[in-house]
Amino acid sequence: MQQLPLDGVKVVDLTNVLAGPYCAYQLTLFGAEVVKVELPGRGDLARRLGPDPGLNRELVGTSFLAQNAGKKSVELDLKSLAGRASFESLVTGADVLLENFRAGVMTRLGYGWERLRALNPGLVHCAISGFGQSGPMSAAPAYDQIIQGLSGMMSVTGTPATAPLRVGFPVCDTIGGLMAALAISAALAGRHRTGQGCFLDLSMLEASISAMGWTVSNYLISGVEPEPMGDQNATAAPSGTFEAADGPLNVAANQQRQFETLCRLVGRPDLPADPRFAEREARMAHRRELNHELNRALRARTALEWEETLSREGVPAARILTVPQALALAQVRHRGFLTEVPFPGPGERTVTVTGNGVVLDGVPLRPRGPAPLLGQHNDEFEAVP
């Protein structure tokens, strides 16, 4: 079996649904042993989430299968004496404790940071919450859509006529999970030097604002308030969605050389000589007119033809695909991004799950086993339902 960077790292995972489980899944892919601590008889809410009612009834909903392959499951009631004793045993032997309760819940359960540090001075405790562990909003409930709205993300998604719009997947949960996985990995590296654990207080709101990049920095540094621009890129032109013969095409000719090459390949070598389009700032100021001229030319061929022609000459361009089409791309298949794991429980069924896009020493990171049944590993950890 391939040696992975987090082999030997033990993670106790108290999280539910997405941000926390997505974080723990990243750690699993890098080799960590993740033990999900779940409510007896109920488990992670994601076990009952997904488009297949049958799987939901079996407590292996699609949402759960997607983020929990390779983990272990124990059932513990942290409000019972026996459950607390088992939990403390897990924490004492762990490297990481991951949770996504509202601020203050762990303290009310009797497991604030001081108590956890006393149990295990080397523990890395990562708390993912909507707004962080302190501040006027710290106790407020938060789902992904709430964070999307508060972060400003929805205000810049869509067109002036349709904004605010929700991004089409739980992007803030994903960002929170990725930032938590990064923070935990950094903390483990730091502990290797100092021997001391630490408390990581992660705010999904702040992580999401940070991930918006130029949208935020353009305002902070230059005072330019961002506006929704639909399928157009605010930083360059021509850069956005265009019209091919059979459907939409993304083109991002952000550099002068790319723009000139694009114009030549679509049969409009005259456009770079037009004062409205000659330079970057002029093109952005006359974006609508430029897009009109390019669309007239691009409608002559299919999106795939343009993708191949433009990409070959160094102009970034690609079709706009559906999710099934994206998953079927030869590039995705070539890198081993998708992998089949056994379906939890008896039988020979399998399910397909994603990796994370990392190929380590030529081998794509994959989960080492299926998602667990609820309480599947109770005996292994002497868990008490």
Tell me, yes or no, whether 14 and 128 share the same domain: yes
Q: Is 17 exposed, middle or buried (0-12, 13-18, 19+ CB in 10 A)?
A: buried
**Where in the sequence is the domain holding 153, given as residue range(s)?**
10-211+337-364
Amino acid at 153: M
Tell me, yes or no, whether 316 and 343 share the same domain: no
SS3 12: strand
Return the CATH number at 286.
3.30.1540.10
Question: Do 272 and 263 touch, CB atoms closer than 8 A?
Answer: yes
pLDDT of residue 21: 97
pLDDT of residue 318: 98
The model's pLDDT over 182-199, given as tens digits with 9 standing for 90+, comes to 999 999 999 999 999 999
pLDDT of residue 347: 78
pLDDT of residue 383: 55
Domain count, the chain: 2
Question: pTM to 2 decimals?
Answer: 0.93
Q: Is residue 114 part of a domain?
A: yes
Task: Please tell me whether the peptide bond between 238 and the residue prior to it is cis, using omega within 30 degrees of 0.
Answer: yes
Question: Do 101 and 14 touch, CB atoms closer than 8 A?
Answer: yes
Question: Do 129 and 141 touch, CB atoms closer than 8 A?
Answer: no
Q: Give the number of other Cβ atoms within 10 Å of residue 284's Cβ.
A: 17
Tell me, yes or no, whether 354 and 270 share the same domain: no
Q: Which residues are catalytic?
A: 173
| Lookup: tokens for 131 | 């707004």
Q: Give the number of other Cβ atoms within 10 Å of residue 41's Cβ.
A: 11
pLDDT of residue 348: 84
Tell me, yes or no, whether 85 and 197 share the same domain: yes
Return the CATH number at 174.
3.40.50.10540
SS3 126: strand
Q: Is residue 39 part of a domain?
A: yes
Tell me, yes or no, whether 42 and 190 share the same domain: yes
pLDDT of residue 2: 85
The model's pLDDT over 243-300, given as tens digits with 9 standing for 90+, comes to 999 999 999 999 999 999 999 999 999 999 999 999 999 999 999 999 999 999 999 9
pLDDT of residue 62: 94
Q: Is residue 327 part of a domain?
A: no
- Give the integer Cα–Cα distance in Å for 82 and 175: 36
Residues of the chain with pLDDT under 70: 382-385
